[in-house]
Amino acid sequence: MRLPVSLIRRSLLAGVSGLPLIVAAAPGAYAAGMPQLDFKNPLVTGQVIWGGIIFLFFYLALRNWALPKVETVLSNRHERITGDLDQAHEAKMEADKAVRELNETKKAAAAQAQAHLDSVLAQEHAASAQRLAEINAKLETEIASAEANVAAERKRAMESLRPIASDVAESLIQRLTGQAPDRASVDAAIARASVQSAH
């Protein structure tokens, strides 16, 4: 680790500029007047000893008493602040958890309501489909019975038509030929014709 160059230059400069003062400290320079450079005065050198003792006590008082006191206060404050921050953090976590729970409950309730709605709808659908099926079945049986009736009526009408046709054919043949035809052959011919027209 080296000092910055500027610092070296500065300290060198200061050292050089201080040289005249060191020269002035030489014996005889005191005549020029600076009481600080009168090193023959025991009070001047006495300052060093007294200053050393005083500074030592000052240092010890600061290190062992005054500064630890500040340190304690500052660390207490730091602990208090971080403690409060932790507490606030915990409270926020709890609030977040409560919000999350609330949201979940809301979602569950909505899902339940939807399911209920769906089931009611499904039931309703099933019921209406059943009703429709019943109505259809009823209508079909009615249609079937009506058709059966119609077929029976038709059959009866057709059956009652044959003697009329035989009579008409007999009278037509008598008028055309002048002689009465054989009733049995007329009936057979009618039956044949009606079977053909039925196809």
Partner 1 sequence: MASGSSIDVLGQFELHPVLGGLGEAIRLSQSPVYMVIACALVLAFMFYGMKPASVVPGRFQAAAEICYEFVRNLAVDTIGPEGTSFFPFIFALFFFILAGNYLGLVPHSFTFTSHIAVTFALAIMVFVLSIIVSLKVQGLKFFAHFMPAGAPVALAPLLVPIEILSFLSRPVSLSIRLFANMVAGHVMFDIFASFVIMLAGLGFIGDVLAVGPIAINIALIGLELLVGVLQAYVFAILTCIYLREAVAH
Catalog residues that contact partner 1 under the rule CB under 8 A. Answer: 1-3, 7-8, 10-12, 14-15, 17-18, 21-22, 25, 33-37, 39, 41-52, 54-55, 57-59, 61-63, 66-67, 69-74, 76-77, 80
- Residues contacting residue 21 through CB under 8 Å, at least 6 positions apart: 37
Comparing CB distances to partner 1, the nearer of 20 and 163 is 20
For the record, the structure tokens of 3 come out as 């000092």
Minimum Å gap between C-beta 91 and partner 1 is: 20
Distance (Å, rounded) from C-alpha 51 to C-alpha 37? 17
CA distances from 143 to 138, 139, 148, 154 (A): 9, 6, 8, 16
Comparing CB distances to partner 1, the nearer of 34 and 102 is 34
Rg (CA), the chain: 67
Comparing CB distances to partner 1, the nearer of 38 and 170 is 38
Minimum Å gap between C-beta 27 and partner 1 is: 16
Comparing CB distances to partner 1, the nearer of 8 and 121 is 8
CA distances from 182 to 163, 164, 166, 191 (A): 14, 16, 11, 14
Minimum Å gap between C-beta 29 and partner 1 is: 12
